[in-house]
Amino acid sequence: MKQLLIILALFTLIGCKEKTTPVNEVAVVEDRFRENYRPQYHFTPPTMWMNDPNGLLHHNGTYHLFYQHYPEDIVWGPMHWGHATSKDLISWEHKPIALYPDELGLIFSGSAVMDIHNTSGLGTKDNPPMVAIFTYHLMEGEKAGRKDFQTQGIAYSLDEGETWKKYSGNPVISNDGNIKDFRDPKVFWDENTEQWVMTLVAGDHAKFYSSPNLKNWTLMSEFGKNIGAHGGVWECPDLFPLQVEGRDETKWVLIISINPGAPNGGSGTQYFVGDFDGTTFTTNQKEIKWLDYGTDNYAGVTFNGLPDTERTFIGWMSNWNYARDTPTEAWRSAMTLSRKLTLHKNKTNGFYLKNYPVTSLDEYAYATVVHDTMKNGMSLSSKNYNEQRLNFKIPGKLDDFKLNFTNINKESVKFGYNSNTKSYYLDRRKSGVVSFEPSFGDKVHTVPAIIDSPTDVAYSIVMDASSIEVFIDGGSTVFTDQIFPTTPFTALTFTSENATIANLKVSKIKRIWK
Ligand code: FRU
């Protein structure tokens, strides 16, 4: 189809020189990224496989997103770092691949920093380097049954991330052969101690290192062996300070992805709220806290290079249970929306994080329709709910309700609250194509209601071609799930004995691909 359009476009250009707007050329441009299930306003790679976000960095007004990428197949393979940039965290421009595997191994997950004082000496004071810190994974070592096949390396760019060179002294942290899972370095500049701090995961715990120059690293401390969730291996850590909303108090948050062991199955992201004194992370937290109760938000981390008040997170919108099996053909998997993280405290929950779409998404909303109220049994219809955002409130006390999106093929995705179990649920069991892997559609995803205001709760539901993200109470409870309906959802029905929906705003969201 695409070839045909290109030929037509060329024909039009050659044959009708006097025309200023070649109609078919426009058609070629608009055909880009319209494949079945391709998200229209979430980041996806141009083609082939993607997993974790890497090296999230804001510099000179540009957001950089690097990502785990295998450019030769739509399943996981020898890892590269793909690259994309954005001005607003919603629209992304694809860039050339940043990092390729080399003789030290594949390029696994990690982070990026701007070394503005040129502490590494890899650039100059006038042109400081952008430095990527990543894990080398040596397949030969793994195949030989050794345990020392994951080490840490660095690479640098002197042209804003366009081209990269590996550091000649790699690896910067070698592996003594005792820990096979030894990866995913997240580095930041600690203003208090004036040194680089790296958080690394090692199977069942995190390790903290310090460095004056990003090349020489010293182990400072460890955290987590006997605390938190341990249903699987710890991956993709992130450590950062956050001020508690409305209080003169700053805490440190440690994000840890874990696979398997998530509350609704497979891969998930837990977090700890505590203190970091420059050397050691400590917490009084007893309970396990999860960032998301859907099954498709994994390996997420936050941007370096932003003020602490703009702590912004992106996750990989998939799950290792079925990531390789989802029904796409040209590319595989998307990132979550960029989300702002805020820290809160109340009597019931102690400290807890909210994660909510960045406000720049609001600028992509158009054709907004407002419905003042929606009562029991009422239905709305639309050409395509899979390109829309719905914001609304349920006034009064929280009570049973259900929202059901359906299509002409009788597929459905349901979101609601159950007062018997005091929990929210998202049910994608009949949402379309689900049978590609048994755990995708085997159960309803649930979460106990964790809210700081049990009345007048606000909701935001964001649906793209193959995902649904539900933000409850400004993001104190979140579900992120992939869905693969065979045709878009076109009807929405509300059911509740006692509750009504107020001020429902339904907006279309502009597509980001040019
Ligand atoms: C998380 C992860 C990381 C690793 C990368 C490999 O999804 O397993 O721990 O660095 O993926 O692609």
Q: Which of 52, 292, 427, 473 is catalytic?
A: 52
Longest dimension (CA), the chain: 74
Distance 207 CA to ligand 1 centre (A): 17
Residues with CB under 6 A from ligand 1: 51-52, 68, 79, 108-109, 135, 183-184, 235-236, 299
Query: β-strand 218-223 against 250-259: which pairing, if any?
Result: unpaired
- Which residue is closest in CA terms to ligand 1's atom 6? 108
52 in catalytic set? yes
Render pLDDT for 438-479 as a digit per residue (tens, 0 to 9).
999 999 999 988 755 578 999 999 999 999 999 999 999 999
CATH 2.60.120.560 in the chain, residues?
361-509
Render pLDDT for 280-328 as a digit per residue (tens, 0 to 9).
999 999 999 999 999 999 999 999 999 999 999 999 999 999 999 999 9
Q: Which amino acid is at 401?
A: F
Q: pTM for this one?
A: 0.94
Residue 77 in tokens: 């393979």
The closest-lying atom of ligand 1 relative to the alpha carbon of residue 135 is: 10
In this prediction, residue 382 has a pLDDT band, given cuts at 50, 70 and 90, of very high
| CATH 2.60.120.560 describes domain 361-509 | yes
Name the residue among 192, 198, 132 with its Cα closest to residue 163.
132
Render pLDDT for 115-136 as a digit per residue (tens, 0 to 9).
999 999 999 999 999 999 999 9
The closest-lying atom of ligand 1 relative to the alpha carbon of residue 79 is: 12
How far is the CA of 65 from the CAs of 76, 193, 313, 345, 384, in angstroms?
Answer: 19, 28, 11, 31, 29
368-404: buried (b, 16+ CB within 10 Å) or exposed (e) per residue?
A: eeebeebeeeeebebeebbbbbbbbebeeebeebbbb
Distance 235 CA to ligand 1 centre (A): 7
Distance 110 CA to ligand 1 centre (A): 9
CATH 2.115.10.20 in the chain, residues?
2-357
| CATH 3.20.20.70 describes domain 2-357 | no
**Predicted pLDDT of residue 452:** 52
Q: Which amino acid is at 458?
A: A
304-331: buried (b, 16+ CB within 10 Å) or exposed (e) per residue?
A: bbbeeeebbbbbbbbbbbbbbebebeeb
